[in-house]
Structure 1
Amino acid sequence: MKILITGATGLIGKELVSLLLQNGISIHYLTTSKRKIEGEPHYQGFFWDPQKGIIDENCLLGVHAIVHLAGANIAKRWTNSYKQEIIESRILTSDLLYKALKNYPNEVKQIISASAIGIYPSSYDKLYSEDSIEVSSTFLGTVTEKWEDSVEKFKRLNISVCKLRIGLVLANEGGALPQMVKPIKSGMGAAFGTGKQMQSWIHIHDLVNMFLFAFQHNWNGVYNAVAPHPVTNSELVETIAKTLDKDIILPNVPKFLMKIILGEMHILLFESQNVSAQKVLDNGFQFKFKILDKALDGLLA
């Protein structure tokens, strides 16, 4: 079996590459840097430039599925130009993959695309399942909706489309967790706003295993990639502190202050999305880390 990966050098991509190779699955990956092209027996890189519409069609040789992770990091200040980059990095890459699959012979039967729970509107009382049709009016909601729409068209090529709406990824190598750990370690940690906003999270180990499971079981449609037991922001901060044997002594950080510091991007800290994992459980996926304290023990101990 062979899988083509976009975004293979990112936080999720690196972990997924390692897992797939351990399971005997060969990998082709696309990179915009010719210096990052490697040519090992089961790990082969190919060049593409989505901005210019360039792709090495040899990337499709022998490939049965595509995992689409490419996209600019949302955790950088949202200037108007960078907001455009966030959108284009998702849409242009999808469009170029579609064009390649349409124009070149291939054996691809499935695409599994990253998405985000940011598509759901912020709410303190709603529980969101994949059946929810509400879309957040924020920039995050707009990005995610366009992102998902951009992979829908692969169905026209008789390719199965699976979208994993990813929650807050807990990992040591990147993402939000190291940024949360720093102030807590130094005694400056605090919850944000009311602290009551729901944080639907997932351990990186479970997330990459879910991508593999989705491939092995030919998942089709939308799935929430979140652990079964979400927590509030206060609970998240307090559990990190407890794991590190630190105390939270500062009052909650007010929303207006983070808006001054981060601009529009501050919503990343204050949005509340209580997202259900029931569908992935019903479809046979088993989590290693269902409870936050166990997940953090493994990461921070």
Structure 2
Amino acid sequence: MSKNVLLTGGTGFIGKYLTDLLIANGFSVSVLSRSERKNTPEITYYKWDLDRNFIEEEAILKADYIVHLAGEGIVEKRWTAKRKKELLESRVKPIDLIGSVLKKNNKILDAFVSASAVGIYGAKTSEEIRTEESDPANDFLGSTCQTWEEAVDQIGALNIRTVKIRTGIVLGKNEGFLKKMAPSFKFGFGAILGTGKQYVPWIHIQDLCQIYLKAIVDPAMHHSYNAAITDNTTNAILSKTLANVYGYTLWLPRVPEFLLKIALGEMSDAVLKGERVSFEKLQKAGFQFQYTNLEAALSLCVH
């Protein structure tokens, strides 16, 4: 029988791509969903409800691997105190719930693979290239990611191999980051945000899903990995390149920092600041990125 992979967040942007890749590689796929969904020959859906602390335990008992992708969007709403709590709990509570079922049933997975984010290094901009050994930041993004990863470590304490994928912005066709950014650029109204000097670690969706697949099948992969291209892409470079892909040169002035801070509040840190990260650890693990050229990756996503 084929090995089973259970996904949280399986109906989202990354989850849909990963599901297709897993099926193409001979895995059976299960997905945890808050709403009733009809099973297909390839995907089995199970119900869960984090508010009620409920999960169909069969989903966990059937799984050989679990991939945790669930979590509220970081830049979907202003960071009020309530929203910050939602962002953290939407990432940590699923892990706690899954962990309780694993303990109750003495279930040992082949691996537990979780999303994380390069936001663990904080909302700041410097010339340092962050590695997996760099200290987490003390700001909201850094502390959220650290708590998220510590929850994963509790799964590891059950003698289960764990892998944490620290992701940059994900480039995909009409999805994710570009779903928000591309429309203004498509119609010629793109602009640089703030100084434009903030780094933007990025990765193409297909590379990201291949990293998840490798994390599942490679027993040598443990702990954290940066999943973003190591280059000098800043917001200015990204903006100019995206405009070029659409066939024009940026003409609007930069959007001033103070306007973004007024419009977005503390959440503006997520777009006005950014660090470079190293992908050397992934390369040493034997992973080869297919998409390392920004313009080529963007062209695939918008045409």
Same fold, TM-score > 0.5, yes or no: yes
- Aligned CA distance change for structure 1 residues 104 and 294 (closer, same or farther; 3 Å): same
Match of residue 28 from structure 1:
30
| Deviation for aligned residue 1:297 | 1.8
Paired residue for 1:15, among 14, 17, 22? 17
SS at match of 2:180: helix
Unaligned runs of 5+ in 2: none
Q: Percent of aligned positions with the same letter in both sequences? A: 38
Q: Map 1:1-301; keep pairs closer than 5 Å.
A: 1-33=3-35, 35-36=36-37, 38-77=38-77, 78-121=79-122, 122-133=124-135, 135-218=136-219, 219-301=221-303
Distance 2:62 2:54 in 1: 20
| Deviation for aligned residue 1:107 | 4.4
- Aligned CA distance change for structure 1 residues 258 and 209 (closer, same or farther; 3 Å): same
Deviation digits for residues 225-272 of structure 1, max 9, x if unmatched?
A: 112334011100011011110220112111110011111111111112
| Deviation for aligned residue 1:86 | 0.8
Q: Say if 2:166 and 2:227, in contact at 8 Å, map to a contact too.
A: yes
Distance 2:174 2:54 in 1: 31
| Deviation for aligned residue 1:172 | 2.0
Distance 1:136 1:270 in 2: 16
Give TM-score scaled by structure 1 length: 0.95
Give, as a single letter, the amino acid of the residue that structure 2 aligns with 1:138.
D
Unaligned runs of 5+ in 1: none
Q: Say if 1:109 and 1:158, in contact at 8 Å, map to a contact too.
A: no
Give TM-score scaled by structure 2 length: 0.95
| Deviation for aligned residue 1:41 | 3.5
Q: Say if 2:168 and 2:227, in contact at 8 Å, map to a contact too.
A: yes
Structure 1: which 4+ aligned runs deviate by more than 3 Å?
A: none
| Deviation for aligned residue 1:105 | 4.7
CA RMSD of superposed structures (Å) = 1.3
Distance 1:230 1:102 in 2: 44
